[in-house]
Structure 1
């Protein structure tokens, strides 16, 4: 079982994404919570099988991306496998964003 942690930057990404959903859909405040729940549920796979996610770069087998579906699009979590029992999420972005912040 892998321990999953978020960097400060990744936690800030979650807040930014939450605020974005709230601003975009002010009539549905529950949607932002549903988006975070989808991310949380998606991240659970990293506790068991981080190597099943796609490589983020061909140069490192430890830097990977997790696709998290939500609605018609979703999110992408950039993470690093730190060792035999630890994974660090470095950034989270919406799939339509150009790059990680």
Structure 2
């Protein structure tokens, strides 16, 4: 079984924000930016097949979960919800050192 992964507009904006942040910190090293994007893409494939293996984000809902996206010494975290037996929706993405989802 394969889940369809979709993104809310807020999650898409988060990805753009994170991309801009990485690019700003490494303006001459596009390889770092590409590796970061590859790490995000690779991690998101987990949601296509095994979303229930990710940690629960809330005690009140077994369907609201977080995906850790390692990259270097830190990484990102994607908040997502398993909508049904076919669909997963990414709600937000943040850097692991950020306080909370934006």
Q: Same fold (TM over 0.5)?
A: yes
SS at match of 1:17: helix
Aligned-pair RMSD on alpha carbons? 0.8
Question: Across the two proteins, how many residue pairs are aligned to each other?
Answer: 101
CA distance in 2, matches of 1:32, 1:58: 35
TM-score by length of 2: 0.95
Instruction: List structure 1 runs of 4+ shifted beyond 2 angstroms.
Output: none
With normalisation by structure 1, the TM-score equals 0.96
Alignment correspondent of 1:27: 28
Structure 1: stretches of 5+ with no match in the other structure: none
In the TM superposition, what is the alpha-carbon distance from 1:29 to its structure 2 partner?
2.2
Q: Verify the 8 A CA contact 1:18 1:33 in the aligned structure 2.
A: no
Q: Counterpart of 1:61? A: 62
Tell me how far apart the structure 1 counterparts of residues 51 and 4 of structure 2 sit (CA, whole Å): 11
